Amino acid sequence: MDQPLFVPQRMEIVSVTDEVDSHDILTFELRPLDGEIAPYLPGQFAELSVFGVGEATFGYASSPHETETVRFSVKRMGALTQELHRLGVGATVGLRGPLGNPFDLARFEGRDLIVVGGGYAFTTLRSLIAYLLTDAQRPKVGHISLFYGVRSPGLFLYKEELARWEKAENFSLHLTVDAADENWKGPVMVVPALVEKVAPDTRNAVAVICGPPPMIKYTLPVLEKLDLKPEEVFISMEMKMKCGVGLCGRCNLGPKFVCKDGPIFTLKELRELTDVY
Ligand SMILES: Cc1cc2nc3c(=O)[nH]c(=O)nc-3n(C[C@H](O)[C@H](O)[C@H](O)COP(=O)(O)OP(=O)(O)OC[C@H]3O[C@@H](n4cnc5c(N)ncnc54)[C@H](O)[C@@H]3O)c2cc1C
Ligand code: FES
């Protein structure tokens, strides 16, 4: 039976991973207490609830091929996330989802991928890349170039996985930081500058961007300079949300709702909705 729209599914926290040196991003692995995991695809999000506190929006960090549990990486911000961070293994939370549209993977088929991410929004990109690297999906896309930037080296999410991806075939990993420490040997610059410097081959490419609004804003002109067309650039938008299903009007972008029509839009679609980009 389908889960009713506004009734959270009860989930048990089965593991908690402290991801970064600042200890303010935890990855929660959740297993359903009733029923099954509702099928989802990379790019979609869910509303997680702590009973008696409220709900907030989080992109799936797990990949659909991980069938027993789902994972969300949560940065401590306000009321909900502070309370979530206090909960440990064995606690029960609520989940409404999946919500929103996934990446249109059919449009990535046969294409190289330029993936650009920053900050905690990288959670959604982790889901996408982990899924595309499965045996079933990998042959469908060409070369993957991943650009990922954070403020300092200790703030990279999923460090062990990044180390594995670095060795993957047909995959280039480009990490950058705003400020280096004594062990950092890589570039020290913002993500858009790194994309410009590396100048990936765009002849058969599509681009995916997920990150803080300034990163998106300054990456777009770089991609356009590299000759990517607005319909070939896919952007995951983040807006303050409430209902997550297009009913409350909290997340509108012109006539569209980011929660229901998005959060993934092409640059072409965004330009028809707003003059910000
Ligand atoms: C589609 C989508 C996916 C998201 N995925 C993740 C994720 O994977 N991991 C994660 O940690 N967070 C994610 N977020 C952000 C998360 O929903 C907010 O940080 C949420 O408000 C935290 O709830 P809170 O009650 O703890 O904080 P609140 O009390 O709601 O807010 C704390 C502070 O964050 C600001 N804020 C809230 N939401 C946003 C937003 N969307 N953009 C900018 N500022 C905001 C508020 O104005 C306030 O200053 C996502 C948001 C969206 C819309
Ligand atoms: S969050 Fe309610 S309409 Fe989008």
**Each residue's pLDDT tens digit, 100-140:** 999 999 999 999 999 999 988 899 999 999 999 999 999 99
Q: Domain boundary residue among 53, 78, 99? A: 99
CATH code where residue 36 lies: 2.40.30.10
pLDDT band at 190 (very low <50, low <70, confident <90, very high): very high
**Tens digit of pLDDT for each residue in 26-68?**
999 999 998 899 999 999 999 999 999 999 999 999 999 998 9
Are residues 230 and 189 part of one domain?
A: yes
pLDDT at 175: 97
Are residues 62 and 119 part of one domain?
A: no
**Tens digit of pLDDT for each residue in 9-27?**
999 999 999 999 999 999 9
pLDDT at 232: 96
Are residues 207 and 93 part of one domain?
A: no
What DSSP letter does each residue of 92-160 carry, written as one string? Answer: EEEEEEEESPPP-GGGGTTSEEEEEEEGGGHHHHHHHHHHHTSTTTGGGS--EEEEEEESSGGG-SSHH
Provide the residue range defining the domain that includes 50.
Answer: 9-99
How far, in Å, CA of 75 to CA of 155, rounded? Answer: 12
Distance 61 CA to ligand 1 centre (A): 15
Q: How much is the average pLDDT of 159-170?
A: 95
pLDDT at 3: 63
Distance 242 CA to ligand 2 centre (A): 5
How far, in Å, CA of 192 to CA of 149, rounded? Answer: 9
**Tens digit of pLDDT for each residue in 58-98?**
999 999 999 899 999 999 999 999 999 999 999 999 999 99
Are residues 165 and 205 part of one domain?
A: yes
CATH code where residue 120 lies: 3.40.50.80
Residue 4 forms part of a structural domain: no
Number of structural domains found in the chain: 2
pTM given for the model = 0.94
With the most atoms of ligand 2 within 8 angstroms of its CB, the residue from 44, 101, 259 to mutate is 259
Ligand 1 pocket residues where CB is under 6 Å:
45, 56-59, 72-75, 77-81, 120, 123, 238-241, 263
Are residues 187 and 78 part of one domain?
A: no
Residue 129 forms part of a structural domain: yes
In percent, the amount of the chain with pLDDT more than 70 equals 99
pLDDT band at 2 (very low <50, low <70, confident <90, very high): low
Are residues 44 and 153 part of one domain?
A: no
Residue 75 forms part of a structural domain: yes
Are residues 163 and 76 part of one domain?
A: no
Are residues 129 and 154 part of one domain?
A: yes
Are residues 138 and 203 part of one domain?
A: yes
Q: Are strands 144-150 and 45-50 parallel, antiparallel or unpaired?
A: unpaired
Residue nearest to atom 52 of ligand 1 (CA): 238
Q: Copy the structure tokens of residue 205.
A: 């490419």
pLDDT at 20: 95
Distance 101 CA to ligand 2 centre (A): 13
Residue 265 forms part of a structural domain: no
Distance 192 CA to ligand 2 centre (A): 30
